[in-house]
Amino acid sequence: MNKTELARETRKQRRLEALGTNEPRCGTCGERDWRCIELHHPSDHNRDETTVLICRNCHRKASDDQKDHPPFDANADTMLDSIGHFLLGLADMLKIIFERLYVFGLALIERAALRSGEAK
Question: b or e along 30-59 (b: 16 or more beta carbons within 10 Å of the residue's beta carbon)?
Answer: ebeebebbbebbbbbeebbeeebbbbeebb
Query: What was the pLDDT predicted at 120?
Result: 59
Phi, psi for residue 109 in degrees, rounded to 5: -65, -40
Which of 60, 63, 20 lies closest to 41, judged by CA? 63
DSSP string, the chain: --HHHHHHHHHHHHHHHHHT-SS---TTT----TTTEEEE-TT-TTT----EEEEHHHHHHHHHHHTTSPPP-TTS-HHHHHHHHHHHHHHHHHHHHHHHHHHHHHHHHHHHHHHHHHH-
**Quick one: pLDDT band at residue 59, thresholds 50, 70, 90?**
very high
Tens digits of residue pLDDT in 64-92: 999 999 988 889 998 899 899 999 999 99
CA distance 109 to 113: 6
Stated pTM of the model: 0.77
Query: What was the pLDDT predicted at 84?
Result: 93
The arithmetic mean of pLDDT across residues 52-69, rounded, is: 93
CA distance 90 to 70: 15
